[in-house]
Structure 1
Amino acid sequence: MEALVYKDKKMLRRGYTTGTCAALAAQGAVSFLISGIWPETAELMTPAGQMVRVPLMEKKAGNGAASCAVKKDAGDDPDVTDGLLVFAQARFLPENTGNARVIIDGGEGVGRVTKAGLDQPVGAAAINSVPRRMIETAVAEVLEEAGLDRTVKILIFVPGGEKTAEKTFNPVLGITGGISILGTSGIVEPMSEEALIETIRAHMQVLRSEGRRFAAAVPGNMGERFLWSYLEREGIGKIPAVVCSNFVGRTLDMAGELGFSGLLLAGHLGKLVKLGCGIMNTHSKEGDGRMETLVACALRAGAGTGTLKRIQEANTTEQALEELKAAGILKETMGALLERMDWYMRRRVPETLETGILVFDAAGTLLGATENARDLLVLAAGEEPAGEDGPDNGI
């Protein structure tokens, strides 16, 4: 495997996914069932076209089954599953079990899907499609090499997976009891954005599968807290909220693609002000423009030269807010800012998707809202999700 990649001015080490770990462990366990000899390592070609070879660990056999583990290595990516042992237990089944040659299920530490809209159906183990194909291919190759036409049951389990899953989005997505076995390329690219973007998409797909047409998006925990406090103050019920991180533009794209009717964005000024100059990825490496945008809006609100200069030189948006308050033009400036933010958001989405915005300061005080913001929240709170009891996935 090509181990290093240049990212953000650094050479970082690649890793491999839980799906790759599961397939390698399955390969090793089936190899023992066939030969009675444990291989020291297992190797496979990932969907990304990179070969991965790893040592097999925790090898055990008995009662017609064999199991072994592969240690998850996320490289230099800050992945909470890094270091977990991903086990595969293999067992031959009678020949009359049907046409399936490889039957895959999840055990301890592997989540179960409880909501529609995800990669796997409700009730299935949260082992995604690509890892399933990787497991099937790895096992089939071992069987073919041995000249065997047998049905094999593979059980994937991850000790500690349930605890680790609490640090992931699985509880929000409706995956209970453990982590997901993931990966589309088989390789973990350090500091990759795609995994988080796919998590956002998965959450939105769950909401649409419940029949919801309205939702909120927040950049993170701060925006979520502020939105919750606002809903409580306004007497509006709970609503589903998608954590979009810095990916405001991609989240808007998904909302349009999935057929939402309304999406409200809520968060702190320091993050959302960037939308006022058209920056839809709010990470600092993608651009700033915070003070420049506030200067332009303050100018429209009638700010004098001294105020504009002090805003431009401010280190934080909170400091800039103090200047706006002192000049007595905070409300007017926020109104101008919301107009700009609203224009850029509406420009991004189809006409069928209505967008709204709530902006707060660091204390959670509402600085401004688009005219339709409260109406969108009321519509979202009034929706009954599909299902027997209406699952509560609100914030």
Structure 2
Amino acid sequence: MDPSFVISRLTTGDCAAAAARAAAVCLLFKTDYEYVSIQHGDNSPRTISVYQVSSACNDESAHYYAIMEGGNAPDIREKAEIHVTVSKIKNLYDVSDNAHIDMRYGNLFLCGGEGIGTSQMDTADIKKGEPLIEKDARKLIFDAVAEACEISDGAQLLQITVSCPDGMMIAAKQTMGQNMFTGGITILGDYGRIFRIHQRDITSSIADQVKKQANLGVKNFLVAPGNYCAKEINDSLHVSLKTAVRCFNYPGDAIDAIVANGGENMLLVGNVGKLVKLAAGIMNTNSYASDARREIFSAHTAIVGGTSSQVRTVMGCDTTDEILALLDSWGIRDKVMSSIMLEISNAVYRRSHGKLKFGVALFSKEFGLLGQTDDTRNVLVKVSQEQYALSLKLK
């Protein structure tokens, strides 16, 4: 983010959204933000400084805060710190029943932490017992985190916790409306547009991950878009994704980085719905950028001798699992996947300019291992040994 913008008047909602965006990006991409820009209407963007609480950032959560500047509301004071922790949810039963939800994003839950007030009565936008985070501010906070999820490995279950360490003291100075809330301040503000995550932020994160391993002497890399199908991958290949380089939607950039850092072997594993796009030479697998799954499966159904009726049926499917189920029922799933894996092998070879030995394996939660390129087993031996040794170093 460009720090040259003049920092303008903020609301607690802006601060919370900025900190939430930074925390989400840190958690999902291991990228550190110093600034987040938000625009309201036709006004100039508001560039908000965000600060990492490094001791609270790990593989399960990330914690950032922003500082209020020039607030007007009676329960807000200059220089108040608005903190946000974004954390992975392992069990939905652990999420508070009073968490805010947004029907657009079923994977996100917004909670109030220390110093955030709790409503003592039902209002138009906040029910009794829910944290005092107003509707427009909630929407902006949800948007800030949801885009990071969209760009990563899909709809991870995440809890967003907003807090203000001085919230109780600030609220105590306000006498108006104390019977309506308790526990701290209200997070408020207008809805706005939070600037989209730039592709270079993500690709830089991929390059950093590869370089970090290379600096530890790694020559054999494990790469995955994310944790999706981790169990199926471990069950079939006996390899854990804990040390995998996360390529998110950019497997091509991971290949480039590994080649640039002198990598010798690469094992690329992940969900079929994402990595099947490699068969068409697509190296940005985000569905908003490219979604050729039906076309790829249709083409390879025809290549292996499928009928025109079968090809049309595949083109009419909505999901990859639906396509796979049909191919399975027709008895041609393995043939189609073999044809696809050949094209994936060709695409990865071209991208690596023949400088890298590689294996690619595709999985689904329903069908498990679906296909692998020819050299996958040989590459797996070297990658799994070195990645296991890496896991011991990182303990």
Equivalent position of 2:92 in the other structure: none
Distance in 2, Cα, partners of 1:159 & 1:212: 40
Equivalent position of 1:80 in the other structure: 24
Equivalent position of 2:6 in the other structure: 51
Letter in 2 for 1:199: S
Residue 380 of structure 1 deviates from its aligned partner by: 1.4
Unaligned runs of 5+ in 1: 1-15, 17-45, 58-69, 87-106, 115-157, 170-187
Residue 265 of structure 1 deviates from its aligned partner by: 1.4
Q: Does residue 216 of structure 1 match 2:222? A: yes
Letter in 2 for 1:280: M
Residues 284 and 389 of structure 1, relative CA distance in 2, 3 Å threshold:
closer
Q: Is the 8 A contact 1:217 1:266 kept in 2?
A: yes
Residue 351 of structure 1 deviates from its aligned partner by: 2.3
Residue 81 of structure 1 deviates from its aligned partner by: 8.0
Equivalent position of 1:354 in the other structure: 357
Q: Is the 8 A contact 2:274 2:285 kept in 1?
A: yes
Letter in 1 for 2:206: I
Residues 368 and 385 of structure 1, relative CA distance in 2, 3 Å threshold:
closer
Q: Which of these two proteins has the greater Rg computed from alpha carbons?
A: 1
Q: Is the 8 A contact 1:77 1:191 kept in 2?
A: no
The alignment partner of 2:18 has SS state of: coil
Equivalent position of 1:382 in the other structure: 385
Letter in 1 for 2:196: P
Residues 81 and 71 of structure 1, relative CA distance in 2, 3 Å threshold:
farther
Give 1:160-175 correspondences, 5 Å limit. Answer: none
Which of 286, 310, 313 is the equivalent residue of 2:313? 310
Residues 329 and 384 of structure 1, relative CA distance in 2, 3 Å threshold:
closer
Which of 331, 336, 339 is the equivalent residue of 2:339? 336
Distance in 1, Cα, partners of 2:217 & 2:388: 6
Q: Is the 8 A contact 2:264 2:356 kept in 1?
A: yes
Q: Does residue 323 of structure 1 match 2:326? A: yes
**Percent identity (aligned):** 23
Residues 2-59 of structure 1: CA distance to partner in whole angstroms, max 9, x if unpaired?
A: xxxxxxxxxxxxxx6xxxxxxxxxxxxxxxxxxxxxxxxxxxxx55x4333568x9xx
Equivalent position of 1:367 in the other structure: 370
Residues 72 and 323 of structure 1, relative CA distance in 2, 3 Å threshold:
closer
Distance in 2, Cα, partners of 1:240 & 1:366: 20
Which of 192, 206, 216 is the equivalent residue of 2:212? 206
The alignment partner of 2:366 has SS state of: coil
Q: Does residue 267 of structure 1 match 2:211? A: no
Equivalent position of 2:155 in the other structure: none
Letter in 2 for 1:207: Q
Letter in 2 for 1:260: G
The alignment partner of 1:250 has SS state of: helix
Equivalent position of 2:107 in the other structure: none
Residues 206 and 111 of structure 1, relative CA distance in 2, 3 Å threshold:
farther
Equivalent position of 1:295 in the other structure: 298
Equivalent position of 1:65 in the other structure: none
Q: Is the 8 A contact 1:266 1:358 kept in 2?
A: yes
Q: Is the 8 A contact 1:226 1:267 kept in 2?
A: no
What's the TM-score, normalizing by structure 1? 0.54
Q: Is the 8 A contact 2:15 2:82 kept in 1?
A: no
Taking only aligned residues, the RMSD between alpha carbons, in angstroms, comes to: 4.0
Letter in 2 for 1:74: A
Residue 73 of structure 1 deviates from its aligned partner by: 5.8
What's the TM-score, normalizing by structure 2? 0.54
Q: Which moved more, 1:201-210 or 1:340-349?
A: 201-210
Distance in 1, Cα, partners of 2:283 & 2:362: 16
Residues 237 and 317 of structure 1, relative CA distance in 2, 3 Å threshold:
closer
Q: Is the 8 A contact 2:232 2:364 kept in 1?
A: no
Q: Which moved more, 1:238-247 or 1:72-81?
A: 72-81
Residue 391 of structure 1 deviates from its aligned partner by: 2.2
The alignment partner of 1:360 has SS state of: strand
Q: How many residues align?
A: 249
Distance in 1, Cα, partners of 2:323 & 2:391: 49
Distance in 1, Cα, partners of 2:57 & 2:318: 45
Residues 165 and 313 of structure 1, relative CA distance in 2, 3 Å threshold:
closer
Q: Is the 8 A contact 1:72 1:81 kept in 2?
A: no
Equivalent position of 1:135 in the other structure: none
Residues 352 and 239 of structure 1, relative CA distance in 2, 3 Å threshold:
farther
Letter in 1 for 2:6: M
Residues 108 and 367 of structure 1, relative CA distance in 2, 3 Å threshold:
closer
The alignment partner of 1:51 has SS state of: coil
Residues 294 and 166 of structure 1, relative CA distance in 2, 3 Å threshold:
closer
Q: Does residue 109 of structure 1 match 2:53? A: yes
Give 1:226-265 correspondences, 5 Å limit. Answer: 226-232=232-238, 240-265=243-268
Residues 145-165 of structure 1: CA distance to partner in whole angstroms, max 9, x if unpaired?
A: xxxxxxxxxxxxx9968x658
Residue 352 of structure 1 deviates from its aligned partner by: 2.2
Equivalent position of 1:193 in the other structure: 199
Distance in 1, Cα, partners of 2:226 & 2:392: 28
Distance in 2, Cα, partners of 1:217 & 1:384: 11
